[in-house]
Chains A and B, each alone.
Chain A
Amino acid sequence: MNFELLAPEISLVATAVAVILLDLFVQRKGLLAIVSIIGLAVSAGFTIVMYGEPSRTIFNNTLAVDNFALFFKLLFLGITALVILASVDYVSKFERFRGEYHALLVLSALGMLLMATATELITIYVSLELASISLYILAGFLKNPKSSEASMKYLLLGATASAVLLYGMALVFGTTGTTQLGEIAQRVQTLGVQGVIDNPALILGIVLLIAGFGFKIAAVPFQMWVPDVYEGAPTPITAYLSVASKAAGFAIILRIFSTAFGLPNWLSLDWGVIFAVLAAIGMTVGNLSALPQTNIKRMFGYSSIAQAGYLMVGLAAMGMASAGATIGQSTILFFLLSYAVANMGAFIAIIAITNKIDSDLIQDFSGIAKRSPLMALGLTVCLVSLIGMPPAAGFMAKFYIFGGAVQNGLLWLVIIAVLNSVISAFYYLRVVKVMWLGEPASTEKVPSSAALRLALTLTSLGVLGLFIFADPIIKAAEAAAKMFGS
């Protein structure tokens, strides 16, 4: 058994245990964040060492270590490290359980790493639950009524989604007789067109899978939980939910739909259409609902629904693509990376600002540019990226993902998507306007810790860097997606 292939996951388990133990004996709780970040760095180190090698599987083909999984692992580890940096100021609000906070974050990251690796339905389910249950607890960590409500809503709706997912998995297993994605693909192909049409249970299973994962990625109409949970959860956890959790959902969807249902082409065309419709509805509903929001966390909740819509344009392109093409997958990977960096950056600035002004209302951001130019500049860069304007990563990501869609005959969807980007400019720019044009409520500076400044600088530079140096990153995304091609 090649246990060394699990080195990134094992080091995360060790980190989580170490943090909990350390919490018992150490008085300076700042150490917990440092230990967590070191653990994540060690895990990332193992991941980087494995990068580029041929794909390998372990545990009876239930886990695959391939470039696709490694790409996502690095993404999750990076996001988690940023969330921990961004939490440094925030956790001082908690009187107790700071060890558990960090340990749960690391465990949730572990679940996501496994999600990226899993190639078998039951393993996928278990790792998904590991990631989710940690997040249910984290969402309620503030222990005030709003936070508890968020946690409870998230738990109940998440459990329902899990049940739907499990039902879908059971139906797929029932009709194909296997839980291995590779073997499912073979069975589906031997069934043929008529075989699949005669098996409504299989089709229902696929639809239920889409619904179950749709919850994770906040696709309309499975998005109802988003605004409330985003508003109530501790802000670093909101950031984590909006970025890592969504990316993990996409990792699984990409894996399942590329491997198990990627071929034959007539099948992928069918689910491609479903994703195209979900994308169009998701973008429009997300953007229109974000327009009237006054709370910045709720606004970002709706905006993340819209961003999931743009990402699903890539899924639709993936379904429409001819057999063996991986343009859809690679565009989604690049978009996810750009979105992750920009959204994390925006949330880091929001955490810094809201922590000091003690309000989540957009109107209270008035004149922040005068009180904290660095935070305002960083947030502006990230918002420009989320709109999809140059010179930011978001522009390249949209150009690339919409380009892939046009190539696969989805011009109508792309036109809906670009018009949606215009709608989104309205509410993103409103934040910019308030920050730079509004009168500050006081002249007092908004101080921020070194950790937050570091995190914001990293993400802002990342947003610009992904634009200027898009070439190597796009190539890496293509290399990671290539394993699904022929």
Chain B
Amino acid sequence: MDSGWLLAIILLPVAGSILIAFIPGLSERLIRYIAALFTLASLILAVVVFAGFDRSIGGYQYELKASWIQAINANFHLGVDGLSLPLVLLTAFLGFMVVLISWKIHERVREYFAWLLLLETSILGVFCSLDLLLFFIFWEIEVIPMYFLISIWGTGRREYSSIKYVLYTLFGSAFMLAGILSLYFTTGSLSMVDISEGGLAMVQSIMPASIIFWLLIIGFAVKLPVFPLHTWLPDAHTDAPTAGSVMLAGALIKMGGYGMIRVCVSIFPNVAQDFAPLLLTLAVISVLYGAALTLRQTDLKRMIAYSSVSHMGFVLLGIFALGEVSLTGAGLQMVSHGLLTGLLFAMAGLTMHNVEERDLRKLGGLARQMPVIAVVFSIAGLGSLGLPLTSGFAAEFITFSGAFSSTVVGGVQVYTLLAVLGVVLAAGYILWMLQRTFYGPVLEQYNGVKDADNLEKVYMFSFVILILLVGIYPAILTNVIKLGISPIASLIGG
């Protein structure tokens, strides 16, 4: 009875996408309503699954397993555990929000919503797959809708950014495919559950596990992104349409962090421990270098994009500190960053749409002209720099304290202290961004620009409520995330 839920959550958006694409003669209005309806249905089901998730037993729940290709032992296997469930919920939430955010799109509406909904399905599929082949298929499918979203509805150098995005992703997933094939060959199985439960001895006997580990992690590192594989991100985020940026920053790059925990750490705990210092170094570089680059941006969206590089460095730090608390913190940071940066991009998009200007040097004093947007933008910004009561604080606090106290990796305290500097830098660039945009002298030329309308208030307050909810009561998520993390952490002894 439980088994159909995840399938429904995944398939509802793509069903909407197919309806939108192939029913002739739909009006723009109707297309928007169909998109909203199907993504909302998916979100409601995700909430039901989140509520119904049995917190007393943990493990994989809502499983669905059907044989697919016997010759290569591939199954259609879905399921969620404490690690993936919050990300599914996040994706379903963002999937509905981006439909609302896209309400004012008027160019090639039919194609736009078809691609947007297909994108949501593929991300949901990644988080729900328990079979490596299925996981990889969803991982790859995501590239195509994102390519079209950026290249048709984007701004700036959109064609360059979209092809750069595609090639980086394919480059990473090429290594990942080789890694998955090696894993399949050495264990004879494609099931993530079976492999992480007991195939490791076989892995090491035929082929060095570290080779497979690195093949896999390159794919995830491109997506997360990790320095030096991050350069696609600022271009893609900046030139994507608002909804594309929200999906990219909110849900899509989380696939990288999720994959690292689910595949790399839980299948190769020992290898992860061996290479943790190297990966932690990359994490610190991502945090500091990303923050330094953010400080000198003058474009509103580009600034938020670079801040993602820095914030995803925290996730990498939490993962490869390898402690139970730090891994939980990384999980929470992914959700929190999804909400905060999703909202930041939505607000930036709204500001740009209403003011028709995105250069920070030319903006200023907008708090008078668009007070609602200014307040919400500020909440998102403050959350992003880790102000208490917001989800950003909870996530960063758990990550840093978990990493600092981790006993598994030697010298992790040094890395943590260096990474905490990233928070200081974040305070710098975010306050500067808010100040340049909304405060200071009121500029004449922006008199009469519109503030948020009712629909926009609906989605921005939805974000704000969730950000505060997670910030005030983080246990609502950490209780669940911990269920997924503790079996993985116990492999390492953290």
* Minimum CB–CB distance for A310 against chain B, Å: 13
How many A-B contacts if CB must be within 8 Å? 84
Chain B residues within 8 Å of A425, by CB = 166-167, 170
Nearest residue (CB) in B for A415 is B178
Decide if A426 touches B167 in the complex (CB within 8 Å): yes
Instruction: Tell whether A436 pairs with B143 under 8 Å between CB atoms, given A403-B185, A422-B174.
Output: no
Contact with B along A411-440 (1 / 0, CB 8 A): 100110011011001100100010011000
Q: Return the contact of A403 from the options B141, B143, B184 (Cβ within 8 A).
A: B184
Whole-angstrom CA separation of A390 from B70 in the bound complex: 18
Whole-angstrom CA separation of A391 from B166 in the bound complex: 16
Instruction: Tell whether A406 pairs with B152 under 8 Å between CB atoms, given A389-B140, A389-B143, A390-B141.
Output: no
Decide if A433 touches B151 in the complex (CB within 8 Å): yes
Instruction: Tell whether A390 pairs with B151 under 8 Å between CB atoms, given A384-B144, A403-B185, A418-B174.
Output: no
Whole-angstrom CA separation of A471 from B133 in the bound complex: 14
5 nearest A-B pairs in the assembled complex, by CB-CB distance: A418-B174, A390-B137, A474-B71, A406-B181, A422-B170
Q: Which of B107-155 contact A (CB under 8 A)?
A: 133, 136-137, 140-141, 143-144, 147-148, 151-152
Whole-angstrom CA separation of A61 from B207 in the bound complex: 44
Chain B residues within 8 Å of A402, by CB = 177-178, 181
Nearest residue (CB) in A for B139 is A390
Nearest residue (CB) in B for A426 is B167
A400 within 8 A of B: yes
Q: Which of A146-168 contact B (CB under 8 A)?
A: none
* Minimum CB–CB distance for B285 against chain A, Å: 25
Decide if A418 touches B175 in the complex (CB within 8 Å): yes
Q: Return the contact of B178 from the options A411, A426, A474 (Cβ within 8 A).
A: A411
Chain B residues within 8 Å of A396, by CB = 69
Chain B residues within 8 Å of A415, by CB = 174-175, 178, 215
Q: Return the contact of B141 from the options A391, A407, A475 (Cβ within 8 A).
A: A391
B159 within 8 A of A: yes
Whole-angstrom CA separation of A418 from B215 in the bound complex: 12
A360 within 8 A of B: no
* Minimum CB–CB distance for A217 against chain B, Å: 24
* Minimum CB–CB distance for B244 against chain A, Å: 15
Decide if B140 touches A471 in the complex (CB within 8 Å): no
Q: Which of B146-193 contact A (CB under 8 A)?
A: 147-148, 151-152, 159, 163, 166-167, 170-171, 174-175, 177-178, 181-182, 184-185
A395 within 8 A of B: yes
Decide if B143 touches A478 in the complex (CB within 8 Å): no
Decide if B68 touches A471 in the complex (CB within 8 Å): yes
Q: Return the contact of A470 from the options B69, B148, B211 (Cβ within 8 A).
A: B69
B26 within 8 A of A: no
* Minimum CB–CB distance for A387 against chain B, Å: 8
B72 within 8 A of A: yes
Q: Which of A402, A425, A475 has the most CB of B within 10 A?
A: A425
Not counting A419-B171, A471-B68, a sample of 20 additional A-B residue pairs whose C-beta atoms are within 8 angstroms of each other reads: A390-B137, A399-B72, A400-B71, A402-B177, A406-B184, A407-B185, A411-B178, A411-B207, A411-B211, A415-B175, A421-B170, A426-B163, A429-B147, A436-B152, A437-B152, A437-B159, A470-B68, A470-B69, A471-B69, A475-B70
Query: Mind listing 15 A-B residue pairs with CB under 8 Å?
Result: A389-B144, A391-B137, A399-B72, A399-B133, A403-B181, A406-B181, A406-B182, A406-B184, A411-B207, A421-B170, A422-B170, A422-B171, A433-B163, A437-B159, A471-B71
Q: Which of A403, A407, A436 has the most CB of B within 10 A?
A: A403
Decide if A471 touches B178 in the complex (CB within 8 Å): no
Instruction: Tell whether A414 pairs with B178 under 8 Å between CB atoms, given A403-B72, A403-B184.
Output: yes
Nearest residue (CB) in A for B182 is A406
Main secondary structure of the interface of B (DSSP, over half): helix
Q: Count of chain A residues with Cβ under 8 Å from any Cβ of B?
A: 30
Instruction: Tell whether A471 pairs with B175 under 8 Å between CB atoms, given A389-B140, A390-B137, A395-B137.
Output: no
Q: Count of chain B residues with Cβ under 8 Å from any Cβ of A?
A: 33
B residues apposed to A, CB below 8 Å: 68-72, 133, 136-137, 140-141, 143-144, 147-148, 151-152, 159, 163, 166-167, 170-171, 174-175, 177-178, 181-182, 184-185, 207, 211, 215
* Minimum CB–CB distance for A27 against chain B, Å: 40
Q: Which of A361-402 contact B (CB under 8 A)?
A: 384, 389-391, 395-396, 399-400, 402
Chain B residues within 8 Å of A471, by CB = 68-71
Chain B residues within 8 Å of A437, by CB = 151-152, 159
Whole-angstrom CA separation of A421 from B147 in the bound complex: 17
Decide if B182 touches A411 in the complex (CB within 8 Å): yes
Decide if B72 touches A474 in the complex (CB within 8 Å): yes
* Minimum CB–CB distance for A391 against chain B, Å: 6
Nearest residue (CB) in A for B158 is A437
Whole-angstrom CA separation of A11 from B28 in the bound complex: 55
A residues apposed to B, CB below 8 Å: 384, 389-391, 395-396, 399-400, 402-403, 406-407, 411, 414-415, 418-419, 421-422, 425-426, 429, 433, 436-437, 470-471, 474-475, 478
* Minimum CB–CB distance for B146 against chain A, Å: 13
Nearest residue (CB) in A for B143 is A389
Decide if A414 touches B181 in the complex (CB within 8 Å): yes
Chain A residues within 8 Å of B215, by CB = 415
Whole-angstrom CA separation of A400 from B136 in the bound complex: 14
Decide if A390 touches B140 in the complex (CB within 8 Å): yes
Whole-angstrom CA separation of A478 from B71 in the bound complex: 9
Decide if A418 touches B137 in the complex (CB within 8 Å): no
* Minimum CB–CB distance for B220 against chain A, Å: 16
Whole-angstrom CA separation of A143 from B444 in the bound complex: 72
Decide if B177 touches A418 in the complex (CB within 8 Å): yes
Whole-angstrom CA separation of A431 from B70 in the bound complex: 35
* Minimum CB–CB distance for A30 against chain B, Å: 31
Whole-angstrom CA separation of A204 from B322 in the bound complex: 58
Whole-angstrom CA separation of A399 from B133 in the bound complex: 9
Decide if A475 touches B71 in the complex (CB within 8 Å): yes
Nearest residue (CB) in A for B68 is A471
Whole-angstrom CA separation of A426 from B207 in the bound complex: 32
Whole-angstrom CA separation of A155 from B71 in the bound complex: 42
Whole-angstrom CA separation of A470 from B184 in the bound complex: 18
Decide if A399 touches B177 in the complex (CB within 8 Å): yes
Decide if B72 touches A400 in the complex (CB within 8 Å): yes
Chain A residues within 8 Å of B211, by CB = 411
Chain B residues within 8 Å of A419, by CB = 171, 174
* Minimum CB–CB distance for A29 against chain B, Å: 36
Whole-angstrom CA separation of A429 from B162 in the bound complex: 11
* Minimum CB–CB distance for A293 against chain B, Å: 17
* Minimum CB–CB distance for A49 against chain B, Å: 26
Nearest residue (CB) in B for A389 is B140
Q: Which of B147, B167, B181 has the most CB of A within 10 A?
A: B181
Whole-angstrom CA separation of A402 from B152 in the bound complex: 34
Whole-angstrom CA separation of A418 from B151 in the bound complex: 25
* Minimum CB–CB distance for A367 against chain B, Å: 12
Chain A residues within 8 Å of B136, by CB = 390
Whole-angstrom CA separation of A391 from B71 in the bound complex: 18
Decide if B178 touches A418 in the complex (CB within 8 Å): yes
Chain A residues within 8 Å of B143, by CB = 389
Chain B residues within 8 Å of A407, by CB = 185
Whole-angstrom CA separation of A436 from B111 in the bound complex: 11
Decide if B159 touches A433 in the complex (CB within 8 Å): yes
Decide if B68 touches A436 in the complex (CB within 8 Å): no
